[in-house]
Amino acid sequence: MSDPDDPIESLRHAAERRREKREQVEDIGLETLRTVADAYRDVETLLERYEERITDRDDLQGYIEFREQLTEVLEALDADIRHSEAFVDGNDALTTGVTSTLSTSDVDRARAALEPVRNDAALLDAWQSARDDYRSARHEAKRHEAELRDRVEALERVRELGAADLDAPTQDIRAPIESYNDAVTDAFSRFLSDTSAREVLEFLETVTAYPLVELPAPPTPLRDYLHAASVGTEPLSVLVEYAEYSRSKLDHYVADPQSFQSAVGPHTRLLATLSADPLTVEWPPKPASELRWRMRELVAVVGRFADEETVARARTVRDLTERDDYDRLRDAAVAKEALTDEQRARLQRGAVEEELETKRAAAEDVAACLDEHPPLDE
C-alpha cells in the first residue's frame, strides 16, 4: 500500500500496477481484448435494457425484440473471437421456445456463462485505470517537484539576504533619497496647482521622451482641446471641479459645455490622480545601474518644473550610485526590508541552510523518479 502523501512512492506504486496490467494485456493482445470487451458490453447493455421485459411472462414482444437485437450482435462477431464458447453458452441460456419468456435464473446463467469475457473487459478497464492513475501520480509528482523548487528558490533568496551586512549604515543612502522624494513631491504639487492645465499636458507630452519616468501620456483629444479652449489656462483642479458640474451650470464657466464634457469628462480620473509618485525613488532603491539611468532622466524631467535645489537633490541621488559601497548598502537595505524576525532567527541557528539542503535533495529525488517514469506515449 503506497503512502498517498509520498509522491515518489505513489508514482512507483502506480508504475508497478501499470506494468502488471500492461503485461496481462500484452499476453492476450490489446486489440483482441478490445474486440471481446466491446462485444461483452453490447450484450450486457441489451441485458440491462431488456431484463425486466424478457422475464415478464406478459411481454412476449419484449423478448422477441431482445432476441432480434442479440442475434444481430452475435452474428456480427468473428467466428474465432476469443472466448467464443462463452458467447454461445450465454446465447443458449437466453434462448427459449417461440411462445415463452425467460426467468431470472436464465439471465443469471447467461451472465455466469459470460464471466470469461466479463473478466477480459474488466482487465481492459483495469489497464486503462492503471494508466490514468499513472498519469495522475506523475502529474502530482511534477507538481510536488515544482513546489520544492519554489521553496528552494525562496530559501536561497533568504540565505542570500542573510549574507548582507545588516549593520551597514543604510541611512547614508536613505537620507538623500528621502530628502529628494520630499522635495520633488512638494515641487510637483506646486507645479500642478500653479500651472495651467494646458502647460501641464504639454509637460506630460514632453516627458514621454523619457521612458524611465512613468508619468501618464496625455490623451490626444484632451491635449488638443486644452490647447485651443480658453479653459485650458485654468489649473487642473479647476477642470476636475468643472467636470462634476451639470451642463446647465457648466454653461456659466466654459464656452462650449458639450465639447468640454466630451474632451475632459473621460479623463477626469487621470487629471485628479496625477501625482509625483512616478518621480520619486523607491526604498530600497534599485541596483546601481538601473537607478543611475533613471536618475539621469529624472534630473532632466524635474528640471522642467522644480527649483534648482530640488534638481540638486536629484543629482545627489544619482551620484549615490557611484559610491564604492552602494551595492553593500543597498543589499543591506533590501535584507532589512525583506527579512522577517523569524527568518533572521532561523538564519542564525542554521535552520535555513538545513531546510535548503533537505528540500534541494527532495527535489532531486522527485526529479530522478520522474526521469525513471516518463510520460505515456498516447
Give tens-digit pLDDT for 274-320. Answer: 999 999 999 999 999 999 999 999 999 999 999 999 999 999 999 99
Tell whether the model's pLDDT for residue 24 goes beyond 60.
Answer: yes
Q: Binning pLDDT at 50, 70 and 90, where does residue 375 land?
A: very high
Q: Which residue has the higher pLDDT, 339 or 178?
A: 178
Q: Which residue has the higher pLDDT, 358 or 1?
A: 358
Question: How confident is the model over 47-80, as pLDDT tens digits?
Answer: 999 999 999 988 889 999 999 999 999 999 999 9
**Reduced 3-state DSSP string for 331-364:** HHHHHHHHCCHHHHHHHHCCHHHHHHHHHHHHHH
* CA–CA distance, 307 with 186 (Å, rounded to integer): 11
* CA–CA distance, 163 with 84 (Å, rounded to integer): 76
**Within a 10 A sphere around the Cβ of 322, how many other Cβ atoms?**
9
Helix axes 104-113, 115-162, angle to 10 degrees: 60
Q: What's the pLDDT at 57? A: 86
pTM of full prediction above 0.75 = no
Q: Binning pLDDT at 50, 70 and 90, where does residue 100 land?
A: low
Q: Binning pLDDT at 50, 70 and 90, where does residue 97 land?
A: low
CA distance to 246, 322, 326, per residue, from 169 (Å): 57, 16, 11
Q: What's the pLDDT at 308? A: 97
Evaluate whether 89 touches 113 at the Cβ level (below 8 Å).
yes
Q: Binning pLDDT at 50, 70 and 90, where does residue 96 land?
A: confident
Q: Binning pLDDT at 50, 70 and 90, where does residue 84 land?
A: very high
DSSP H helical ranges for 29-114: 30-54, 60-75, 84-93, 104-113
